[in-house]
Amino acid sequence: MLRSVFLAAAGSSRLERLVESAPVSKGIVRRFVAGSEVRDALSTTRGLADDGLAISLDYLGEDTLTAEQATATKDQYLTLLGQLREAGLTPAAEVSVKLSALGQKVDDRMAYDHASQICAAAQEAGTTVTLDMEDHTTTDSTLEILAELRKDFPATGAVLQAYLRRTEGDCRELATAGSRVRLCKGAYAEPESVAYQSTLDVDKSYVRCLNILMSGEGYPMVATHDPRLIAIAEDRARWFDRSPDEYEFQMLYGCRPEEQARLAGAGHTVRVYVPYGDQWYGYLMRRLAERPANLAFFGRALTSRK
């Protein structure tokens, strides 16, 4: 119930203006977002890399409706990749990209062209790109663009969402040599016709998908904070005899940092997804939808008026 309220709020531009203009304590945003500027992204990246973690940076923004905005987002990624390279932070850091921020909902060719330039800059910087997955109306287009990009940039990563009924099939398609696949539960409000609705069904789907990816030939990226699924992934990695450079765990910046450190300490590769930029509203609402404890934190931040 609370989840659907926040996911509906994530799409409300009126509420967005209200929340962004409220004197919300910077604490809540800072907990999940590295900061507004590239320099904030770089300093957070350095700190995480010094702790032995890998990073995927996301320049916040989605559902871009103009060509100018899409170009500006692409330019922001090119600047980021150039600076990561200069700072010696690649290959520890890669980037995550939302195609909707590159104009996918206006013209998917434009999104492909921008994504291709970002992939070229990433390759030049010695690192990779992962295409985030958004709501189910974009899944086919995103997978088509991924397939195109992989012709020139085979290391481009995909994201598959276990809550979608189609995902087991997509896992089979993508569990091929060299294919990097991030498996997550899924963060959008989706109808029953396309997505499992109960947490149990989503978790069961996650395990089925994990089995396909771990037993396949690709590179699984296990994106979850769920202790049970992490334990199952550790078990499958052992079962399928995968060494630590043949899969990785991924978690969001600000979520379960002790678990990130524990897994890294145990010899696993752990990548932290680090968002930065001003357009944090939709991202924050999805994090609030996931976890009531984040809501209490948000409430305290709102009332502290700092």
Ligand X SMILES: Cc1cc2nc3c(=O)[nH]c(=O)nc-3n(C[C@H](O)[C@H](O)[C@H](O)COP(=O)(O)OP(=O)(O)OC[C@H]3O[C@@H](n4cnc5c(N)ncnc54)[C@H](O)[C@@H]3O)c2cc1C
Q: Which residues contact ligand X by CB under 6 A?
A: 132-133, 159, 161, 182, 184-188, 223-227, 250-252, 255-256, 273, 290-291
User: Toward ligand X, which CB reaches closer, 110 or 187?
Assistant: 187
User: Toward ligand X, which CB reaches closer, 23 or 244?
Assistant: 244
Closest C-alpha among 36, 105, 38, 96 to residue 70: 105
The rounded Cα 246 to chain-centroid distance in angstroms is 19
User: Toward ligand X, which CB reaches closer, 112 or 188?
Assistant: 188
What's the rounded Cα separation, in Å, for the pair 282 and 153?
A: 29
SS3 label, residue 97: strand
User: Toward ligand X, which CB reaches closer, 242 or 291?
Assistant: 291
| 182 belongs to the catalytic site | yes
* Least spacing, CB of residue 250 vs ligand X, in Å: 4
Task: Give CA torsion, residues 4, 230, 246, 254, to 10 deg.
Answer: 60
* Least spacing, CB of residue 23 vs ligand X, in Å: 25
Residue 26: CB atoms within 10 A of its CB come to 12
What's the rounded Cα separation, in Å, for the pair 108 and 114?
A: 10
* Least spacing, CB of residue 260 vs ligand X, in Å: 10
* Least spacing, CB of residue 1 vs ligand X, in Å: 15
Transcribe 217-267 into DSSP letters. SSEEEEE---HHHHHHHHHHHHHTT--GGG-EEEEETTS-HHHHHHHHHTT
Candidates 132, 135, 170, 203; catalytic one: 132
Candidates 182, 271, 286, 287; catalytic one: 182
* Least spacing, CB of residue 192 vs ligand X, in Å: 17
User: Toward ligand X, which CB reaches closer, 16 or 226?
Assistant: 226
| 39 belongs to the catalytic site | no
User: Toward ligand X, which CB reaches closer, 108 or 135?
Assistant: 135
The rounded Cα 151 to chain-centroid distance in angstroms is 22
* Least spacing, CB of residue 16 vs ligand X, in Å: 19
What's the rounded Cα separation, in Å, for the pair 96 and 3?
A: 24
Closest C-alpha among 175, 170, 151, 149 to residue 160: 170
Q: 3-state DSSP helix/strand/coil percent for the chain, to nearest 5?
A: 55, 15, 30
Backbone angles phi, psi at 165, to 5 degrees: -65, -25
Q: Annotated catalytic sites, by residue?
A: 132, 182
